[in-house]
Amino acid sequence: MPIRISLDEIETLAVDRLCAAGADLAQARPVAQSIRRAEQDGVRSHGLMYLPIYVEHLTCGKVNGRAQPQMSQPRAGAVVVDAGHGFAHPAIDLGLPALQEAARACGIAALTVRRSYNCGILGHHAKRIAETGLIGLCFTHAPASIAPVGGRIPVIGTNPFALAVPDGAGGARFVLDQSASVVAKSEVILRSRRGEPIPEGWALDAEGRPTTDPAAGLKGSMLPSGGAKGFGMGLLVEVLASALSGAVASRDASPFSGPVGGPPGTGQCFVAIDPDAFAPGFVDRIAALAEAIQAQEGARLPGARRVAARRRLDAAGIEVDDDLAGRLQIQKN
């Protein structure tokens, strides 16, 4: 029977497991908080499911659990953080305050992170920027899993981007978070673990043929959302999160799952824009845009499902199936 645990218990469990695998508290806490937020949003593929992978990567050396990220600011509007092959989250935490300060001074600023790792749900970082009254535009690349349209060999990752827009009251009016692929690769990994098929149109096998077998899809290529247009979006992310940041290219990065290879060395790029530097009335225009979307029956703002899940799961807690509970050594009450 599945067990149910609270969000506080999830965060405590994650800190304990990460520290036991060799991470210090400075590295473990931000990752544990990210796992908590993912479960709170109902995005199971980025929550507790990923904790055994994080533990494995600490143990085998793909992540430096005691890394101390280093920040520099070579230009007024440019902030750079070297994650030192540690988790992405503490490196991002280090750079965001400087990014926000630079954006207010210059109107727009960018933060790049290199020698980094999986940063969890990208939209969470964009939302943090929006909560300070700035537009947050974020990019992260990943180990190659998408082949160019017409090809078979992956050259870019699922390469998500996220946009969060401030509401003028300390929150985000909406958060758009999507990847270049039809679905996040972690969703295919999740179904592979459960022995469940994937829908047709998610992936190709190693020979370039459509497949509903998640294991074959993981050996082949994820399909880009919208065909060539989706691949183009992923290429944009590759330029900003990988090439601009000085990170390892997606095609050379080791996988975010399994012990093969050394540290992935991937990167992120975060752009913060101060609307007040450009034209008055931004918040009112965004409110009107949101209303035009929400006023239509059946329509919703990006991120609305996660907001609804957050309200529901805050009180109900999180259900953990027997397989994951066993891997995490969660004891039933």
Give 332: exposed, middle or buried? Use CB within 10 Å, 0-12, 13-18, 19+.
exposed
Query: 254 catalytic, yes or no?
Result: no
Three-point CA angle 200, 201, 204, nearest 5° = 95
Task: Show the DSSP H helices in 63-177 as ranges.
Answer: 88-106, 122-130
Task: Show the DSSP H helices in the chain as ranges.
Answer: 7-20, 25-40, 51-60, 88-106, 122-130, 185-194, 214-219, 228-237, 282-294, 304-316, 322-328
Active-site residue (options: 11, 39, 187, 238):
187
310-322: burial string, b at 16+ Cβ within 10 Å, e else: eeebeeebbebee
Query: 45 catalytic, yes or no?
Result: yes
Active-site residue (options: 45, 56, 131, 319):
45
Question: How far is residue 317's CA from residue 296's CA, in Å, rounded to a whole number?
Answer: 32
Given a contact cutoff of 8 angstroms between Cβ atoms, the answer to whether 220 and 207 are in contact is yes
Query: 187 catalytic, yes or no?
Result: yes
Question: How far is residue 192's CA from residue 217's CA, in Å, rounded to a whole number?
Answer: 9
Catalytic residues: 45-46, 187
